[in-house]
Chains A and B, each alone.
Chain A
Amino acid sequence: MNQVAQPDNLPGTVGEGLVQHGVNRREFLQFCVSLTVMLALPPSMAAVMAEAISKTRRQSVIWLSFQQCTGCTESTARSHTPTLENLIFNLISLDYQHTLQAAAGEAAEQALAQSMKDNAGKYLLIVDGSIPMGNPGFSTIAGISNHDMLVDVAKDAAAIVAVGTCASFGGISNAKPNPTGAVAVHDIIKDKPIIHIPGCPPIPVVITGVLAHFLTFGSIPELDSLGRPRSFYGETVHDRCYRRQFYDQKKFALSFDDDMAKQGWCLFKLGCKGPVTHSSCATTKWNDGTSFPVQSGHGCIGCAEPNFWDATPLYKVPLKSFLYQLILGDQDTPQKTVPTGLGVGYTAVTWHKRMNKNKVAANAPDKKLTAQKGNTL
C-alpha cells in the first residue's frame, strides 16, 4: 500500500476534495477496502482503487428518468456503502437528476446542456424507467419525447447504466398488454456499452457498488449474457438463501403464519421465485443487511428477472413450467437440489429471442459460459 497516492496531491481532484472534506488518508483507504470487498475484488485492488480515485476529477453523471416510479432513485439514497452523500459530494458530479437537483425548468435543461458539452464522450449516463414507443406524447420532459432525449444524451456518453428492471428489460410498463409500447434502453441504443442493474428496485449497495466500479477502473464490470454485473447477479436468491437447508430437507411452510413459517422453513410452496431469480438479495440483503423478502416471510417475486411480471403469478408454484420441469423432473414436490445456474441458461435462451445479440454480447465476455449452459439445456 506504500505506493498509494496521498489523496491530496492534485488540485481540483477527488483526492483534494476528500482532504477538504475532512477525510484523512486512513479513512479514505478504509473506504477503498470496503469497496473492494463489496465488489469481490482481491485485497490488493484497494491500493489501485485509492490511487485511481484520488487522481480524478469527480466523474460527471447525467441521470435521465423516464417511465418510472422514482423507486430506483430512492433506493440509491438508501445505500450505506458508499452513501449517497459520499457519492455526490466526493466521487461524482451529479449534473442532472430530477429528484435531487436544485434547478428546475429552463435552468435544469441548461445544466444538462452544459454538462453534455463540458464532458462530451466522458459522462456516465444513468437511466431509470422504460421508454414508451406507442406515442411520443406518452412521456415528455421539457416538451421532448423520452426517445429523443435518450438518443440525444446517449450520443456522447461514455457508457450507460440502466438502473432498475424498467430501464433494463422494460419492467412494469412493458407487462401485458403493454399499453404504451414501453421498451428498455437497449431496445433503442445499440452503439454504447450498457450495464443492466435490474431489480424493482435494485438493492441500494448494488447500484452504488456498480457505480464505484466504473469510477475506480474507468471500465464496466464483467457482465453476464443479460448485461448484468456478474459480481451481483451471478447466483440465484435460492443458491444463497439461509432457508436452503429446509428446501433440501423438503421442509416447507404451507401458510404465511403456520408453525413452519415461524420456524423459517422454505417458502417454495408459497410461490417463492428464488430458484429462478439472479440477485444478491440473500447475501448483501437490504438496508444495511437488515433483512430481505424471504427472511421477512414473503417469497421472492423475481423482480430482477426479465418479464417477471408476466412469467408466473406471485403465489403460484410453476410446477408445470419448462424451467421447473427441468429442475424437478415430473415430481409434484421438489425432490433434489437445484443445479446452480440452470436459471441463467433458461432466462438467457428466452431473452435472446428479444434481445439484439450484438448489443449486450459486445459487453459480455462470457459467451463461452452462456453457450456451455445452453448445451446443458
Chain B
Amino acid sequence: MNQPENRRVIVDPVTRIEGHLRIEAETDAEGRIIRASSAGTMVRGIEIILRDRDPREAWAFTQRICGVCTLVHGIASVRAVENALNIEVPSNAQLIRNLMIGAEYIHDHVMHFYHLHALDWVDVVSALKADPKATSALAQSLSGYAKSSPGYFSDVQKKLKGFVEAGQMGIFANGYWGHPAYKLPPEANLMAVAHYLDALAWQRDVVKLHTVFGGKNPHPMLLVGGVPCAISIDPNRPGDKKAPHFNGISSGTALNEVGLQTVQNAIKQMSEFVDQVYLPDTLAIAGFYKDWFKQGEGVGNFLTYGEFPAKGMSYPSTFMIPSGVILDRDLSKIHPIDLNAENEIQEFISHAWYEYSVGKEQGLHPYKGETKLDYTGPKPPYKQLDLDKDYSWMKSPRWKGKAVEVGPLARVLMMYASGHEQAKELVNMTLKTLDLPVQALYSTMGRTAARTLETKIVADAMQGWYDQLIANIKAGDVKTFNESKWEPSTWPSNAQGVGVTEAPRGGLAHWIVIDNQKISNYQAVVPSTWNAGPRDAEGNQGPYEAALKGHQLHDVKQPIEILRTIHSFDPCISCAVHLTDPEDKELLQVKVL
C-alpha cells in the first residue's frame, strides 16, 4: 500500500506531550484520514539496565522512565517488590501514598489542560482583540475565582501584546493562529491565556506536598515497605522527658507541624483551583466545540487496574477507582482482570522494532516478556516510515487479544458503571450542561472532559486522606515503614510480583522477577503503550490510531485535528517505550567518542 507522499500527513515532532511521538496519517484526496500510524521514536532500555540490581532500588530507576508523571513508576515499582515479597505497608504510608498519587493527578491534569492541550482550542493571538470588561463579565459568570477584574485581564492582554508586537513569539511562534478550527470568542481566548499563566504559578506551589513527603519534585523519594519520611511529631508525650526529643522545626524531618501545614495548604489550593478555574473552564471551552464530542472515540474497550486503596493493595474491594475491563461500550458488565494469567495481558511486537524468540506473531505475558532491539526502520535522516512493516519502539499490549483504552475516560466510565455516586453526578451534570447524550463521552472532547471530572473527584478525596493521617498521628500511630523484610537475607531465593497503579495517563503495571536477591526480569506495561502502540499481529489498531481514523483535515499543512485527538490522550512516550531482554548476550559495545 504505497501511498504517494502527498497523501501522507506527517506530524513529527508531536509537541506539547512527553517524549518523542510521530504520527503518519494516510489520507484520501479530500484530506480524510484513512489510516493513521503512531510511532514512538526513542528508546533507552531501562529494563535491561535494571537487571541484576537490588529490587529495593528499582523505584529510583523506573521513576526516571518519566519526569512528567513523576512518582507513578516509583509507586508501581515499590508495590511490585512488596507484592513479590509479601510486604504490607503501614496505614500512614498508605495514606501518604494516596496523597502523593492524588496530588500527581491534580497537578498533572491541570498542567496538561492548560499547558499541553489548551493551545489546540485557544487562539492566543485572537485574545488581543478581546474586551477586558467583557472578559471579566464572562469569567465572573463562570465562577467566583478572585482574579477576574477587568484590570486583571487588561494587564494580561497588555503583556501578551508586548510579546506579540516585539516580533519574538518564542513558544507561541508558528502556532496555527487564525485557523478556522478555532471557535472561541476573543474574550474566552483571553480568559484562557490568563489561566494558562495562573496555572503555571499554581503548579509550582502545590507540588510542595510532594516535597514534604518525598524531599523534591520532580522525582520524589520513595521506599519499599512504606514511605521514607519519618513523622517528627508525637503529640501524646509532650512532657515525657524520655520520649524522642524533636529540636523544634529546624530539626527532625520535614514531616513536622510546619510540613503538615504545607500539605494542608497545598490540598486547599488544589481544590480551589479545580473548582474555580479548571472545571468551569473545561465546561466553557467544551461548549464551543460540541462537534468534538462526535469523533475521536478509539476502540470502545476500556481497562483500569484500580487505585486509592483504603486499606492496602491486598484489598481491591476498598479501591476508590475499581479495577476491570469494559468491552464495546457495555457499561452493564465489568470483566475482572487476572494480572498473573498468561493468556490475559500480553505484549505483541508485530509492528515494533523488537525480536521475540517465539517469532513476531505471538504475544508474551510480562513475566515471560523478552525483547531484543532490532531497528529495521529507514536509516535517518528519513522522510517516511514503512508502515506495513515495523514502525515503532512501542509494543502493542492486549487484554485477551483486544486493544483497550486506559486513562481518565476509562476510569470515569469504570466509576460510573460501578455506581460511584459522585462520578455519576458529575457525568450527568456535564452532559446536561452541554446538552449531550451519554454517547458523547466516547470522543476526543469526552476524554478531555473525563480528565477534568476525575480531577474533581480526586481533589475532593484528598482532604479525607489528610484528616485520617492526622487522626492516626493524634492516636499515637506514627509508623511509616515496615522493616520486617528490609534485609535481603529475609527473602526467599525466588519471588515474583506485580505492582499496579493508575497513573494520570492510565493503568500502569510493573512485573518483577527476583532471583537470589537480584532482579532477573523486569517489565513495565504502561498507559501510553496501551493507547499509542502500533497495530498487532491481526492488524488491529490501538486507541490513538483508531481514534484518528475518519478525521477530516481542513488543511493538511496545518493538521490541528490530529493534535486535538492525540493530545486528548495526553501522550507520555518515554513511558511507552521500554524493553527488557534476559536472553540478549550481544549488547552493544559502548563507544565513547
Chain A contact residues, CB within 8 Å of chain B = 12, 16-17, 20-22, 57-58, 60, 65-75, 77-80, 83-85, 88-89, 92-95, 97-108, 110-111, 114-115, 132-145, 148, 172-183, 187-188, 200-201, 203-204, 242, 253, 255-259, 261-264, 281, 286-288, 290-298, 301, 309, 313-315, 354
CB pair A110 B211 closer than 8 Å: no
Residues in B whose Cβ lies below 8 Å from that of A60? 168
Q: Which of B137-145, B169-177, B318-326, B498-506 is near enough to bind chain A?
A: B169-177
Is B216's beta carbon under 8 Å from chain A?
yes
Q: Which residues of A contact B14 (CB under 8 A)?
A: 104-105
A71 with B201, Cβ < 8 A, contacts A263-B232, A263-B252, A287-B211 known = no
Residues of B within 8 A of A133 (CB): 590-591, 593
Residue in A closest to B54 when the chains form the complex, CB atoms = A313
Partner of A108, one of B168, B174, B353: B174
Report yes or no: A255 in contact with B483, Cβ–Cβ below 8 A: yes
The proximity string for B residues 562-593 relative to A, scoring 1 for CB distances below 8 Å and 0 otherwise, is 01000000000010000100000001111111
Whole-angstrom CA separation of A179 from B44 in the bound complex: 7
A257, B226: Cβ atoms closer than 8 Å: yes
- Whether the pair B259, A261 counts as a contact (CB closer than 8 A) is no
Q: Are A97 and B171 in contact (CB under 8 A)?
A: yes
18 A–B contacts from the bound complex (CB under 8 Å): A20-B162, A70-B19, A70-B68, A78-B203, A98-B17, A101-B15, A103-B174, A141-B13, A148-B381, A172-B61, A178-B588, A258-B230, A263-B252, A264-B232, A291-B259, A301-B60, A313-B57, A314-B57
Are B20 and A77 in touch, CB under 8 angstroms? no
Which 10 A-B residue pairs are closest in the complex by CB-CB distance?
A71-B67, A179-B45, A20-B162, A102-B175, A296-B215, A293-B215, A298-B228, A298-B221, A291-B254, A103-B174
Q: How far is the CB of B455 from chain A (nearest CB, A)?
A: 18
* B interface residues with partner A (beta carbon < 8 Å): 10-20, 41-46, 48-49, 53-54, 56-57, 60-61, 64-68, 70, 111, 115-116, 119, 124, 155, 158-159, 161-163, 166-176, 197, 200-201, 203-205, 207-208, 210-221, 223, 225-232, 234, 244-247, 250-255, 259, 262, 353, 373, 375, 377-383, 478-481, 483, 486, 557-559, 563, 574, 579, 587-593
Which of B49, B56, B175 interacts with A315 by CB under 8 Å?
Answer: B56
Check A180–B44 contact: CB distance below 8 A: yes
Whole-angstrom distance between the Cβ of B547 and the nearest chain A Cβ: 17
- Known contacts A77-B203, A297-B229, A313-B57: A70-B574 contact under CB 8 Å: yes
How many angstroms between the C-alpha atoms of A85 and B115 in the bound complex? Answer: 12
B216–chain A nearest beta-carbon distance, Å: 4
A143 contacts which of B210, B214, B219, B380 (Cβ < 8 Å)?
Answer: B380
- CA gap between A69 and B13 in the complex, in Å: 15
In the assembled complex, which residues on chain A have CB atoms less than 8 Å from the CB atom of B558?
Answer: 107
Contacts of A98 in B (CB 8 A): 13, 15-17
Q: Is the CB of B217 within 8 A of A107?
A: no
A293 lies within 8 A of B221 (CB): yes
Known contacts A137-B380, A139-B20; is-contact A314 B60 (Cβ 8 Å): yes
Are B197's CB and A288's CB within 8 A? no
Give which listed residue, B159, B169, B251, contacts A242 with CB less than 8 A: B251
Among A66, A104, A188, A242, residue most surrounded by chain B Cβ atoms (within 10 Å): A104
CA distance A94 to B174 in the complex (A): 12
Q: Is the CB of B215 within 8 A of A298?
A: yes
How far is A309 from B155 in the complex, measured between Cα atoms in Å? Answer: 47
Quick one: which of A58, A77, A110 contacts B174, CB cutoff 8 A? A110
Q: Is the CB of B43 within 8 A of A294?
A: no
B15: chain A residues at CB < 8 Å are: 98-99, 101-105, 108
Q: Which residues of A contact B252 (CB under 8 A)?
A: 262-264
Complex interface: chain A residues within 8 A of B19 (CB): 70
Complex formed: what's the CA distance from A178 to B124 in Å? Answer: 43
Question: A93 to B168, Cβ gap below 8 A?
Answer: yes
A95 to B246, CA, bound (A): 50
Is the CB–CB distance between B253 and A264 below 8 Å?
Answer: yes
Smallest CB–CB gap between B4 and chain A, Å?
A: 18
B394 to chain A, nearest CB (A): 14
Q: What A residues does B593 contact at CB under 8 A?
A: 133, 183, 187-188
With A58-B170, A70-B66 already in contact, the answer to whether A105 and B215 are too (CB < 8 A) is no
Interchain CB contact (< 8 A) of A291 among B10, B201, B211: B211
A72 adjacent to B67 (CB under 8 Å): yes
Q: Is the CB of A135 within 8 A of B68?
A: no
Contact between A315 and B42 (Cβ–Cβ < 8 Å)? no
Report how far A132 CA is from B255 CA in the complex, Å: 41
Residue ID in chain A nearest B214 by CB atoms: A296
Task: Specify which of B175, B262, B380, B591 is in contact with A290 (CB 8 Å cutoff).
Answer: B262
Q: Is the CB of A287 within 8 A of B588?
A: no
Instruction: Report whether A136 and B380 are in contact in the complex, using a CB–CB cutoff of 8 Å.
Output: yes
Which of B377, B379, B559 sits near A105, CB closer than 8 Å? B559
Chain A residues within an 8 Å CB radius of B61: 172, 175, 309
Are the C-beta atoms of A256 and B226 separated by less than 8 Å?
Answer: yes
